[in-house]
Amino acid sequence: MRTSSDQLVVRSLVQPSFFDGDAVALARALIGATLIVRGVGGLVVETEAYRHDDAASHSSNGETVRNRAMFGPPGHAYVYRSYGIHWCLNVVCARGQAVLFRAIEPGLGVDAMRVRRGRDKLEDLCAGPGRLGQALGIDRADDGQPFDGCDLQIHVPSMMSQRILVGPRIGITKNADLPWRFGLSGSPHLSRRFA
DNA sequence: CCATAGATGCACT
DNA sequence: GTGCATCTATGGA
């Protein structure tokens, strides 16, 4: 017996062309995808878009040593050190644009995540870009690496029926009103509530 | 639940 | 020296 809510969802590794485009569109498209880093990861429940002509973006003042990856090819990681402590993971799309992974629902390698994070309950393991980076073992060496299905993987579902939340980005002061943060409705793994 | 201070690396003024 | 795309511990309502 099938009901109308029964759906066969197939997840497939994305092609490089999937990433080549606008950050806002990609940030939305990545909600419900699966992010896997060296066998550890889960369902993407929160993202943010950063564009080139965007005062909140690290790329807004042009290419530097730090943001070099944001000006490299699409589908590669841009990893930066946040507040001197955390490693945060982006995927580069159009030139000077990237999507920040802000939260995932832990799915694969949860034990490894707990060891790296130290003590947390499931809802807090990957709820926030710094927490996610720590749980997934992200560091400087991942900067510029490709999402090619080896160390770094993105799989997308064949269909997405979930509602997607939209709101302003977190922790910025410039361009703070733009609705470029996306979330999976009802997820208990978000870094913060949507208004 | 909310507010705040401190930790910490590093690009930029 | 200043300012972060953050997180944690702590204290109060």
Percent of chain A predicted with pLDDT > 90: 93
A65 touches strand B (CB under 7 A): yes
A68 touches strand B (CB under 7 A): no
**E strand or H helix that includes residue A45:** strand A40-50
A170 touches strand C (CB under 7 A): yes
Q: Tokens 């197939």 belong to which residue?
A: A10
The pLDDT value recorded for residue A2 is: 58
Of A54, A141, A28, A16, nearest to A89 by C-alpha is A141
Please determine, for residue A23, whether its predicted confidence score (pLDDT) is greater than 90: yes
* pLDDT, average across residues A99-115: 97
Burial letters A25-55, b for 16+ CB under 10 A, else e: ebbbbbbbbbbbbeebbbbbbbbbbbbbebe
Please determine, for residue A7, whether its predicted confidence score (pLDDT) is greater than 90: no
> Can you tell me whether residue A116 is helix, strand or coil?
helix
Number of Cβ atoms within 10 Å of the Cβ of A65: 5
- Give the bases of strand B that a protein CB approaches within 7 Å: 7-13
Residue-range domain boundaries for chain A: 11-184
A86 touches strand C (CB under 7 A): yes
Q: Which two tokens stand for residue A101?
A: 């992974």
A70 touches strand C (CB under 7 A): yes
Of A145, A146, A150, A118, nearest to A134 by C-alpha is A118
Residues 6+ apart with CB under 8 A from A93: A19, A20, A21, A22, A23, A26, A74, A75, A99
A121 touches strand B (CB under 7 A): no
**Amino acid A161 CA to nucleotide C2 C1' distance, rounded Å:** 46
A66 touches strand B (CB under 7 A): yes
Q: According to the CATH classification, is domain A11-184 in 3.40.50.300?
A: no
- Using the C1' atom of nucleotide B7, identify the protein residue whose alpha carbon is closest: A85
> Can you tell me whether residue A117 is helix, strand or coil?
helix
Of A56, A97, A57, nearest to A74 by C-alpha is A97
**Amino acid A139 CA to nucleotide C9 C1' distance, rounded Å:** 25
pLDDT tens-digit map of A49-103: 999 999 999 999 999 999 999 999 999 999 999 999 999 999 999 999 999 999 9
> Can you tell me whether residue A128 is helix, strand or coil?
coil
The pLDDT value recorded for residue A1 is: 60
